[in-house]
Amino acid sequence: MAVNDDQSWATRAACVGRDPDALFVRGAAQRQVRELCFGCPVRLECLADALDSGTTFGVWGGLTERERRALLRQYPHVTDWAAWLQSEDDELVAELRADRAPRILALMRRQSA
């Protein structure tokens, strides 16, 4: 079952009940908002859903829209992000799974060099 088919994970998100306007911010404010994500029990489900659906605004799964765009460009072959995040075992996925702000843009630049 794809993440988009079952959204029951959203009821367990750390941001449930928060004012959506406080979560959908731009620029440097995103760093502050995404701190809420790193203790969230469904962070990777949220991230996979945003990547699968091409969500272009806001912080989802602890990543900004810029970071998600970079992932989508780097891995255009991925069609099921939930499965990919669970099955892949490389440095980037370990960074995404960490309970802190991932340094994925720097890591992807280093991998492409």
Q: Which tens digits make up the pLDDT trace of 51-62?
A: 999 998 889 999
Task: Kindly state the tokens that stand for 82.
Answer: 């939930």
Q: What are phi and psi of 24, to 5 degrees?
A: -100, 80
pLDDT computed for residue 94 by the predictor: 85
> pLDDT band for position 113 (50/70/90)?
low
> pLDDT band for position 23 (50/70/90)?
confident
Q: What is the mean pLDDT of residues 88-113?
A: 80
Give the domain ranges of the chain: 3-112
Task: Kindly state the tokens that stand for 53.
Answer: 């659906």
Residue by residue, DSSP assigns 65-90 as: HHHHHHHHHH-TT-S-HHHHHHH--S
**Which residues make Cβ contacts (< 8 Å) with residue 2, sequence separation at least 6?**
52, 80, 82
Query: For residues 110 and 82, what is the distance between their CA atoms, to the nearest angstrom?
Result: 24
Q: What is the pLDDT of residues 34-87, one digit of tens each?
A: 888 988 999 999 999 999 999 988 899 999 988 999 999 989 999 999 999 999
Name the residue with tokens 């630049």. Answer: 109
pLDDT computed for residue 21 by the predictor: 86
Q: Under a CB-based contact definition with an 8 Å cutoff, are residues 29 and 37 in contact?
A: no
Sign (positive or negative) of CA dihedral 28, 33, 36, 38? negative
**Which residues make Cβ contacts (< 8 Å) with residue 99, sequence separation at least 6?**
38, 39
Residue 91 has pLDDT above 50, yes or no: yes
